[in-house]
Amino acid sequence: MQISRDQLSDYRVAIIGAGGTARTAIAALAEYGATVVIYNRTREKADALANEFNNKNGRVVAARLEKLCDSCCHIFINATPVGMYPNVDASPIDGQSVHFSPETLVFDTIYNPVETKLLRSAREQGAKTIAGDEMFIRQAAAQFKIFSKIEPPIQVMRDVLTKRLAQLAAPTSE
């Protein structure tokens, strides 16, 4: 599933969370005309964020987190820390029957672990998935280029992150 910025106006995007990472995603998606639904455990926070960005170019609305299972969104973005190490057995959709399909894209901003419970569930249902390490690497690459004016060594960055995350996941000997 390759989606260009110009195509975002054809998509409904579920953002799970209403913090800083969610705000960044919503700003970009609304700018390019996507319909964004913010799902958050605190509805008031989701409403405030939706009001801030609604009608910029896209449509931004809020919904109760419990309604995520009824979502007809094409793209799901987890912008919460739920599922991050050490709480790797948690998912922002725990307790809900959210169904993903091969036409669904699920992106989790968490990079440790690389495959979260959310991504594993989505992948097992046939959805396309993007792990948070991709965002982490691309942010580092953009910062590197801005600072140094040199094309970033993306593969080196990817290799270093992969190695470091593997070290963190390995049991320690005492």
| Helices assigned H by DSSP within the chain | 20-31, 43-53, 117-124, 132-148, 154-169
Which residue, 144, 141, 90, 82, is CA-closest to 109? 82
What does the CA dihedral 44, 56, 79, 103 come to, rounded to 10 degrees?
Answer: 120
Q: Is 155 among the domain residues?
A: yes
What pLDDT score was predicted for residue 110?
97
* 16-74 per-position pLDDT tens digit: 999 999 999 999 999 999 999 999 999 999 999 999 998 778 899 999 999 999 889 99
- What CATH code is carried by the domain that includes residue 56? 3.40.50.720
Same domain? 160 vs 104: no
The model's pTM = 0.91
Q: Is 174 among the domain residues?
A: no
What pLDDT score was predicted for residue 94?
94
What range defines the domain where residue 101 resides? 5-130
Q: What is the DSSP string of 88-115?
A: TT--TTTTS-----TT-EEEE---SSSS
Same domain? 152 vs 108: no
What pLDDT score was predicted for residue 172?
60
Same domain? 141 vs 60: no
Same domain? 13 vs 48: yes
* 86-120 per-position pLDDT tens digit: 999 999 999 999 999 999 999 999 999 999 999 99
What pLDDT score was predicted for residue 108?
98
Evaluate whether 66 touches 42 at the Cβ level (below 8 Å): no
- Structural domains in the chain (count): 2
